Structure 1
Amino acid sequence: MGQSTSKSGFRFRPGWHRAAGWISLVAGIAIIAANDLMLLANATLLPGGHSELYLMAGIGVAATSLWWFGWMDRQE
């Protein structure tokens, strides 16, 4: 649905999928970086200070970009 497949098997994804992928990738990396910076610089950049839950959340947000980039598409 919403994706067309050519004869070569290449799936076309709309441009906004690529934009959403980059946004989620950058947001995930920013969460991870802010969390690690709080550990090193003794600053409070995220609510509650440094927490391993922020690391897990950042990894989860960055991992969602794989779907937007099409890496999770089933090959037929």
Structure 2
Amino acid sequence: MGSSEKGRNPALRIRPGWHRVVGWLSLAAGLAIIALNDTMQLASGITLLPGGHSELYLLAGIAVTGTSLWWFGWMDRAE
């Protein structure tokens, strides 16, 4: 163990601040995709996303929202 690692908890990992920014943007984008897709289903005659309402937009929104968990550090392993 080197002198720089003395007293440091290896299970504690601190992510840089820009990771939180990317996480919030990813979360907002995923929720926006889901909201726009559901709005097109409820209000007939409006097209907010290319191709209109599709269940694939719901899956894409869930996937984008799910990736925000990584940016927030939820996937980090605590050893």
CA distance in 1, matches of 2:59, 2:77: 26
Aligned with 2:32: secondary structure? Answer: helix
Deviation at 1:7? Answer: 2.0
Q: Which of the pair has more CA radius of gyration? A: 2
Counterpart of 2:19 in structure 1 is 17
Residues 47-66 of structure 1 aligned to structure 2 (within 5 Å)? 47-66=50-69
* Structure-2-length-normalised TM-score: 0.85
Alignment gaps of 5+ in structure 1: 1-5
Q: Which among 16, 20, 43 is matched to residue 41 of structure 1?
A: 43
Deviation at 1:52? Answer: 0.1
CA distance in 2, matches of 1:52, 1:7: 45
One-letter amino acid matched to 1:48: G
State the identity as a percent.
Answer: 70
Alpha-carbon RMSD across the aligned residues, in angstroms, is 1.2
Aligned with 1:12: secondary structure? Answer: coil
Counterpart of 2:3 in structure 1 is none
Provide the aligned length of Structure 1 versus Structure 2. 71
* Structure-1-length-normalised TM-score: 0.88
Q: Does the 8 Å CA contact 2:12/2:78 hold for their aligned counterparts?
A: no
One-letter amino acid matched to 2:27: L
Aligned with 1:11: secondary structure? Answer: coil
Compare relative contact order (CA 8 Å, sep 6+) and give the higher one, 1 or 2. Answer: 2
